[in-house]
Amino acid sequence: MSNIPKIVILGAGYGGVLTALRLQKELNYNEADVTLVNKHDYHYFTTHLHMPAAGTDKTENARVSISKLIDEFKIDFVKSTVVQIRTQDKKVILEDGTLSYDYLVIGLGGEPETFGIPGMLEYAMNIRSINSVRLIREHIEYQFARFKREPHRTDYLTFVVGGAGFTGIEFVGELADRLPELCKQNDVDPSLVKLYNIEAAPTALPGFDPELVEYAMQVLTKKGVTFKIGCPIKECTPDGVIVGDNEEIKAATVIWAAGVRGNRLIEEAGIEVMRGRVKVDESLRAPGHENIYVVGDNSLMFNPEGRPYPPTAQIAMQQGVVCAHNLVASIRNQPLKKFEFKNKGTVASLGKGEAIGLAFGKKYKGGVAALLKKAIDIRYLYIIGGIPLVVKKGKFL
Ligand SMILES: Cc1cc2nc3c(=O)[nH]c(=O)nc-3n(C[C@H](O)[C@H](O)[C@H](O)COP(=O)(O)OP(=O)(O)OC[C@H]3O[C@@H](n4cnc5c(N)ncnc54)[C@H](O)[C@@H]3O)c2cc1C
């Protein structure tokens, strides 16, 4: 038996991939055995999924094979699904095997939070993975074909997006661009199509700059989106949604984009959580578990004003870098680094050529913000895969 410490990383999302890539760079030969576990043999860009979901881009542009990102001489990749984390004997149970660890990194990403709304889990779809967006795109296209056979069923042409946060807004922007194209392809009168964006909070994009929110709503309204803001969805049914004062919106398509919670496996492991997310210490470790690091949507961190940071790819990436540093430091018995979030700005796309954003202390809107969004996407591809990956996902060029 070797004495080399074993590091197991669960999840190849933004946090997991950045941790793996940095470990690959920082660890010396034979200093640790690193294993990366992921459900699929590809890494997907969650921040891009609203496009293939609406059908405005190919799913291929939203993913890259893990073998193209990591050096398999330095990191073992295991394609499998984690079914249990056993902290008591430092083991991870996979659907087809078991892994032992000395250090564990949990980066399994979030799960939809439905806030207990009846029917939401059963009848709504979510933008969460390549497989879920394939289903959404096919489902949307199929509604047009169904309508041609049953023209009295206008509910086939009614689309409800629950949540006007970043995911909801970015998705309605894309869908608003795609629907006219689908009408044309299927000889459907565009005036029959309805696209609702429904939000319980008193504003769209809560917490974002009000002037930019207003701009976003104007752009999207012009594209045909009907907003219902301050209007909670009470129930999701097989026929649509019930909102506000028991108003029923009949819709064959409901996409829930309103909430993320942590991963159930963490709660089941007995690690302390708040809505499935682990309130990590300043070095990104789980409370009471010095050898367990948590990154990305699974972690919960607070800003200096005491408010939780929203779960974003940006924070997950920065955590991955610090997590790798701290793993190497632990192995070398060196002091750990404190994680400090450096907000590089936020940009939300509103469909083709339109976006809003706050970056470098300035507000951006329209085409300039859309270019900024592309620059952010390119930067990410460059960080994880260098120039070859930027060139391969050629739509950016
Ligand atoms: C449509 C959309 C748009 C977004 N836009 C932005 C944006 O513009 N900017 C931004 O900063 N953030 C954005 N976000 C949020 C961002 O995508 C997430 O915060 C980020 O993906 C979290 O990264 P992560 O590493 O925690 O997990 P993820 O990226 O979700 O990755 C988790 C990984 O774990 C794997 N996994 C899950 N369960 C298991 C299991 N049991 N066994 C094995 N593997 C498993 C998954 O397959 C996945 O590969 C957006 C999210 C969505 C949905």
pLDDT digits (tens, 9 = 90+) for 278-290: 999 999 999 999 9
Task: Specify whether 327 is located in the same domain as 237.
Answer: no
Residue whose CA lies nearest to ligand 1 atom number 50? 47
Residues 6+ apart with CB under 8 A from 222: none
Query: What residues contact residue 104 under an 8 Å CB cut-off, 6+ apart?
Result: 7, 8, 10, 85, 90, 92, 291, 292, 293
Domain containing 250: what range?
Answer: 120-256
What pLDDT score was predicted for residue 202?
96
Residue 314 per-residue DSSP state: H
Q: Are residues 138 and 250 in the same domain?
A: yes
Domain match, 264 and 252 both: no
Does 252 share its domain with 128?
yes
pLDDT at 353: 94
Q: What is the CATH number of the domain that holds 40?
A: 3.50.50.100
pLDDT at 3: 85
What pLDDT is stored for residue 244 in this prediction? 84
Query: Ligand 1: which of 108, 170, 314, 321 to mutate, most ligand atoms within 8 Å of CB?
Result: 108
Give yes or no: residues 141 and 77 share one domain: no
49 and 84 co-located in one domain: yes
pLDDT of residue 397: 41
Answer yes or no: is the C-beta of 175 below 6 A from any ligand 1 atom.
no
The whole-number pLDDT of residue 2 equals 67
Over pLDDT 90: what percentage of the chain? Answer: 87
Position 206 scores a pLDDT of 87
Which residue numbers are catalytic? Answer: 170
| 234 closest CA partner among 202, 200, 204 | 200
| 364 found inside a domain | no
Do the strands 75-79 and 63-65 form a parallel or antiparallel pair, or are they unpaired?
unpaired
pLDDT digits (tens, 9 = 90+) for 313-358: 999 999 999 999 999 999 999 999 999 999 988 999 999 999 999 9
129 and 51 fall within a common domain: no
**394 pLDDT higher than 70:** no
Does residue 166 sit in the same domain as residue 242?
Answer: yes
- End-of-domain residue from the set 195, 224, 256: 256
Are 158 and 249 a contacting pair, CB within 8 Å?
A: yes
* Residue 188 sits in the same domain as residue 86: no
Domain final residue pick, 222, 256, 290: 256
Distance (angstroms) between ligand 1 centre and the Cα of 17 equals: 11
Q: Does 363 map to a domain?
A: no
Place of tokens 């942590």: 262
pLDDT score of 396: 52
Domain count, the chain: 2
Residue among 257, 258, 294, 256 at smallest CA distance from 276? 294
In a domain, 307, yes or no: yes
Residue 326 lies in a domain: yes
Kindly report the protein residue whose alpha carbon is nearest to atom 47 of ligand 1: 39
pLDDT bin (cut points 50, 70, 90) of residue 259 is confident
In a domain, 150, yes or no: yes
Please choose from 43, 47, 132 the residue to mutate so as to test ligand 1's pocket, defined by most ligand atoms within 8 A of CB: 47
> Quick one: how far is CA 214 from the chain centroid?
24
CATH number, domain of 124, equals 3.50.50.60
Q: Which of 256, 290, 316 marks a domain boundary?
A: 256
Average pLDDT, the chain: 95
Which residues, 6+ apart, have CB-to-CB distance to 137 below 8 Å?
52, 53, 54, 55
Q: How far apart are CA 290 and CA 372, in angstroms?
A: 39
Give yes or no for residue 372 CB within 6 A of ligand 1. no
For 223-239, write each residue's pLDDT tens digit.
Answer: 999 999 999 999 999 99
Token pair in block for residue 328: 């190497």
User: What would the pLDDT profile of 117-176 be if each residue is shown by its tens digit?
Assistant: 999 999 999 999 999 999 999 999 999 999 999 999 999 999 999 999 999 999 999 999
